[in-house]
Chains A and B, each alone.
Chain A
Amino acid sequence: MSRVGVFVCHCGENIARNVKVQEVVESSRDIPGTVVTADYPYLCSAPGQQMVIDAIEEHDLDRVVVAACSPQLHEPTFRAAAAQAGLNPHLCEMANIREHCSWVHRDAEQASAKAYQTVVAAVERVKRSRPLDPIEVPVTKRALVIGAGVAGIRSALDMANAGHSVVLVERQPSIGGNMSRLSETFPTLDCSQCILTPLMVQVSRHPNIELLTYSEIEEVSGYVGNFKVRIRRKPSFVVAEDCTACGDCAEVCPQPSGNEFDMALSSRKAIYIPFPQAVPSVYTLDPDRCLNSKLDSPTGFRVLACVKCDEVCKPQCIDFDMQPEFIEREVGVIVAATGFDMKLGQQAAECGYGKHVDVMDGLEFERMLSASGPTEGEVRRPSDGKTPKDVVFIQCVGSRNPEHGVSYCSRICCMYTAKHALLLRHKVPESRAYIFYMDIRAGGKGYEEFVHRAMEEERVMYIRGRPSQIIEEEGKLKVLGVDTLSGRTVEIDADMVVLAAAMEPADHGEIAGKLRIAADTDGFFKEAHPKLRPVETLTAGIFLAGTAQAPKDIPDTVSQASAAASKGMEMLSKDFLERDPSTAHVDESACAGCFECLAVCPYGAIERKQLLDAQGEVFREVAAPNPAMCEGCGLCTVTCRGGYIDLEGYTDEQVFAQLGALGALREVIER
């Protein structure tokens, strides 16, 4: 016979207001197996926990039920207390009489009756609990970072500096991401490349970082501490080790087209380096633009239409026969930092984007402002190359627009638009800047002051409202809108219009799918808890950094990147990881091997196991959950037609006992 202790918490007024705690304590005494009952105003307090510990020792309890709040909150607290008293923590059970009773019922009688039932059910359940020990998993001491923008770079450097090996994968030919495109950064106006390129160089030289650029994640398998990653290195057709980045190849290449690094405001050749400070500093041959690709050669460049680059390359590093390379790495933790793209949707089209060349998006204007950009930092109208005088900036293009764009605020636009206007005024002192805004969201350190600097010192004209239409008239862009502060319509003849387009996640479910992590409705990676676990995912060992998780500015991105690195290092610093033993177990003697469970398991945790007979012959295949990968969700247990899968801590016996207790009581009440 079990010896169960029942402890009921008042949670101040939270529970006691609506649940008659004394009555619950009194009635619980009669539950078979209950040896001791007690109550306390705040059980989670140190004296409250001590009361539980003392009772376990004094009454030689072998099971404990704590009737209090949700197990989400304090199950770890009381399991730790039980462990301190020498009890296996899994023999301590929570009965949730706060969220399930006092908070949701008005009638104290009914709330109390339900609280009592909940306690009875918990007692019946805990009587059937088995002691469980945490599962220990070894850790591969290497991290994978996906994406080498400023988030990925910071995460990789933090972990590498702490002595861990890091594999950093970037799909573009150079690391640096969107930040390397920016001109100057708000609110301090540091030159973006000046502060980023030292980090890029550190990455390239770091002995602990293996940098794989122009590479993409093919497949991720395994589990926390033991991931297996297959990476596809796209052929660059240039032998990186030999390339001296002399640029002779690009000079003779006959195939110019838009340079995506400059948002296609400049051109590059089919063989190119994205920007002068690119890391690694090697050329890449773009197969989509090279003349050779146009020939029918399914296996690569075997039929060559043009070999000009090869002819001039002194180190002879052009290799038209280069094939994709597949690299496999084992890692313990993964940081996903896949970044953002600009979203140019219907509202951008409303503002004339794609129709008038002098309407550009924020990143295009960044390139124009950048000293290394297509105009070497000079502001010029794309249509005629002239210096613009009147420039209209429009905020919230697509953002905060659930009807024609996205519902969220992109968070950085208020600030970068203020910066754009300010830089325009610096570069073209006779220019006039207008900003159509809805609300100024300048919540960062020094941000509000920066916006006021744009307003007061640079005399930027802020107009609160959305424009209706942009009409091209005699070489000008007539912007029609309203100022809602004065309630009047506004008309501006602009030379150029810059749109603060919405940010959208660069990953459209591909990486999320391979990592088996969730994305929210907007496609941003979903954190495990918005407040308390903001850089973790629900898949153990995978962490998030930067704008892949939500729109954010550089300081927040870098902070989150360091946080993700620190979470990763917490795991990498251990030899073994402890995992919750609430995992699935298959009754191998009964399993029919239908593998429906394998089909539904979201974590890929179920494997096929061969059972051998005495002669060593396979006589049956059965399902075998890997406890290191199982997250204990229970999908397999309900899918198994024979009911031969049980979840430790939630066995059929326990759950039926719990339900039975509730059902039996209902009969009593009805009678």
Chain B
Amino acid sequence: MNARIRPDWDIRDAILEMGGTDAYKCYQCGKCMAVCPWTHVESVVFPVYRTPQSVKLGAIMSSEDTDEIEREVTEVYRCVGCESCSTWCPHGVHMPDIMRGIRRILVEFGSYPSELSESVSRIHSSGNPFGEPREKRAAWTEGAEVPPFETGMDYLYSPCCVPAYDPRAVNVAKASVEVLKAANVSFGILGDGESCCSEAIRRAGAEEVFQEVAGANVTAFSEAGVKKVVTTSPHCHRTFDQEYGELGANFESVHQTQLFARLIEQQRLEPKNALDKKVVYHDPCALGRGCGIYDEPREVLKSIPGLDLVEIPNYSREYSLCCGGGSGGVWLERPKGERFSDIRVQQAAATGAEILAVACPYCLQMFEDSVKTMDLELEVKDVSELLAEAL
């Protein structure tokens, strides 16, 4: 670290222009650090409240030393955009915006983690972060008879890249479709007509690629006559709902747990098969703090006969601990000891639950990995899977 800061007004202005103006609201009270998931990691100190001050001083990327740049990049990419800080901030600082502003500069300089830059270019070229062929986007539907979207249908079902390509998560998309069919919901899919929502890469700083890929989605949805979208991932839902408007989108978005809860309430879905197990629900950041959706997933779980729903003490709902997958974190290889998902599955296992229920494909991936590496007796399942099994 440079011992002396020489305030750089140009860097400051550049970050402010990239959306970092919330830095000026900050009065360094430290609440953000106190509620940051990194406080659960003993080996890492991440004083996130200092970031706004660094922005105001233009004290970012001011060194030419490669070690220093690497340290700074690591620091800036610690933030997983879980919005814990912005939920509790007394002064309304939206830290993910500040991080995004800084990261846009880093992306412009090409100084950002290689795993991320690879994901960004794959999304750019093939519409998904895995580099899988675009035309195979609907391959998951094999044997499931999923109708293509047609104008006049009520919903576009947007499955998220992870369920579309990941062999484990495919089951989530299939379960979701099964539930929608059971309730006679009028829906269809666009298949290779849509691309990654690009929420994660936007938060990772790749604004240009986001604009391009998301813009293509907006055009595709609009041309297909989409009025309402139901998503499996809360990340897709959040960006559709809160960010696509900037790109001229004119459609509504719901998260599938919202729709499922409504269908259950209307008795269009009646879970019958009992699941005599203890289930603990994890609030995904993007769904809970990000969209304020806490109750609907729980209502869905509670509708399943026999299911014993428990909570993680002190760390549920607004206090939920992030899995670490947000803002591109899912593609970053974090050393053991620094994985939030490891801590979270331990918290979940400590409740005595047999199943950890999630409502986000990133959470599913992160927790499955952690359960395996930590050798825990805990099944990780999406809410839609549990619901489909109960029908």
Contacts and interface: CB of A to CB of B under 8 A. Distances in A.
Contacts of B27: 400, 438
B83 to A, nearest CB: 13
Nearest to A404: B90
Contact of A481 (B34, B50, B314): B34
Contacts of B33: 465, 482, 484, 487, 489
A357 B353 CA distance: 30
B337 interface: no
B31 A468 contact: yes
A401 B49 contact: no
A402 B91 contact: yes
A465 B50 contact: no
B69 to A, nearest CB: 21
Interface in B43-58: 45, 47, 49-50
A468 B45 contact: no
Contact of A438 (B29, B50, B88): B29
Nearest to B90: A401
Contact of B92 (A403, A464, A471): A403
Contacts of B28: 484
B39 A468 contact: yes
A465 B90 contact: no
Contacts of B88: 350, 404, 468
Interface residues of A, number: 25
A469 interface: yes
A396 B90 CA distance: 10
B34 A347 contact: no
A69 B33 CA distance: 51
Interface in B72-91: 88-91
Given A400-B90, A402-B92, A487-B45, A469 B319 contact: yes
Contact of B39 (A400, A464, A466, A489): A489
B48 to A, nearest CB: 10
A350 to B, nearest CB: 7
A346 to B, nearest CB: 10
A482 B33 CA distance: 7
Interface in B301-354: 314, 319
Nearest to A398: B90
Interface in B95-128: none
A466 B91 contact: no
A464 B30 CA distance: 8
Contacts of B50: 487
A404 B89 CA distance: 8
A484 B39 CA distance: 13
Contacts of A438: 27, 29
B90 A468 contact: no
B90 A489 contact: no
B47 A469 contact: no
A403 B90 contact: yes
Interface string A479-515: 0111110011100000000000000000000000000
A82 to B, nearest CB: 50
A600 to B, nearest CB: 38
B4 to A, nearest CB: 18
A488 B36 CA distance: 12
**Size range of the interface on B?**
20 to 34
A480 B39 contact: yes
Nearest to B89: A403
B247 interface: no
Contacts of B314: 469, 471
A388 interface: no
Interface string B10-39: 000000000000000001111101110001
Contacts of A347: 90
Given A471-B314, A488-B45, A466 B92 contact: no
A394 to B, nearest CB: 11
Contacts of B47: 482, 484, 487
Contacts of A401: 90-91
B30 A484 contact: yes
A405 interface: yes
Interface string A589-613: 0000000000000000000000000
Interface string A393-418: 00010001111110000000000000
A466 B34 contact: yes
Among A464, A469, A471, A489, chain B packs the most CB atoms within 10 A around the CB of A489
B29 A484 contact: yes
B264 to A, nearest CB: 31
Interface string A131-148: 000000000000000000
Given A471-B314, A488-B45, A480 B90 contact: no
A467 interface: yes
A465 B89 contact: no
A480 B92 contact: no
Nearest to A401: B90
Interface in A399-453: 400-405, 438
Among B30, B31, B39, B314, chain A packs the most CB atoms within 10 A around the CB of B30
Contacts of B319: 469
B343 to A, nearest CB: 14
A465 B34 contact: yes
A489 B92 contact: no
Given A468-B35, A487-B45, A405 B90 contact: yes
A484 B49 contact: yes
A467 B34 contact: yes
B45 A466 contact: no
B390 to A, nearest CB: 34
A465 B33 CA distance: 9
Contacts of B91: 401-403
Contacts of B45: 487-489
Interface string B261-285: 0000000000000000000000000
A247 B83 CA distance: 58
A489 B31 CA distance: 11
A465 B27 CA distance: 11
A288 B35 CA distance: 43
A48 B41 CA distance: 74
A469 B35 contact: yes
A471 B35 CA distance: 13
A402 B39 contact: no
Given A401-B90, A465-B30, 13 more contacts: A347-B90, A405-B90, A466-B31, A466-B34, A468-B35, A468-B88, A469-B319, A482-B47, A484-B28, A484-B29, A484-B33, A484-B47, A489-B34
Nearest first, the 3 closest Cβ-Cβ pairs linking A and B are A468-B34, A465-B30, A401-B90
11 contacts: A396-B29, A401-B91, A438-B27, A465-B31, A466-B29, A466-B34, A468-B88, A482-B49, A487-B45, A489-B34, A489-B45
Interface of B: 27-31, 33-35, 39, 45, 47, 49-50, 88-92, 314, 319
